[in-house]
Amino acid sequence: RYYDEAGESIGNYFLRYPVRFSRISSVFSTSRFHPILQRRKVHNGVDFAAPTGTPVRSVADGIVLSASYNRASGNMVKIRHTNKYSTAYLHLSRIAKGLRKGQRVKRGEVIGAVGSTGYATGPHLHYSLYENGRYVDPMKTKLPKMPEHVSPIPQDLLQATLAQVKGSLQQAQIAYQAQHAGQNSSLGT
């Protein structure tokens, strides 16, 4: 977790992309011709073309809802990030070793690798984003992100810095009081 200058948690912010990719091979669409099913179908995600084995990362902190295989999606991982957002990662060549339902994951943690399992014609990551349980376009949705004016400060460094600042302020206050104690007595106060 990261904190702002007041020591408040910045919150769970999102990476824009879960994978390094060469191109987007298919966009979010209400009607796309499915190359395997040979018919028009809703495409509830974005396909990122990348070589088999390219690491796939969780876009935010969350809890794994599922890490399993099914015929259409192939190896897939679904993660709940907040009460509002969930994500799904499909067609993985493999799911990260030991990744299980109920497990906590961190933003940027590797959860699998690009593949072409399930109904896929080539290696890519199909990435879906849900907002309040409904599919939304991950390329157009405004996601929680770290405010631009805030530099990330790890918690241990923040605590050490705050302790140092507090000590300096106490020393400054003591010096100020000592310096002004003589002035106040000469004024008869």
Distance of CA 150 to the CA centre of its chain: 17
- Report the CATH number that the domain containing residue 99 is assigned in CATH: 2.70.70.10
Number of structural domains (the chain) is: 1
Give how far Cα 3 sits from Cα of 38, 60, 106, 151, Å: 50, 16, 16, 9
Structure confidence by residue, pLDDT tens digits, 95-106? 999 999 999 999
In the structure encoding, which two tokens stand for residue 156, read together? 């241990």
Position 40 pLDDT exceeds 80: no
Whether residue 57 contacts residue 15, with contact meaning beta carbons closer than 8 Å, is answered with yes
- What's this model's pTM, rounded to 2 decimal places? 0.68
Domain that holds residue 97: 23-136
- Is 128 among the domain residues? yes
- Is 32 among the domain residues? yes
Structure confidence by residue, pLDDT tens digits, 134-170? 989 888 888 776 555 455 666 777 788 888 888 888 8
Structure confidence by residue, pLDDT tens digits, 105-132? 999 999 999 999 998 889 999 999 999 9
What's 69's DSSP letter? E
Please name every residue paired with 34 in a beta bridge, in sequence order, or none if there are none.
Answer: 39
Residue in the structure block whose two tokens are 């020393």: 171
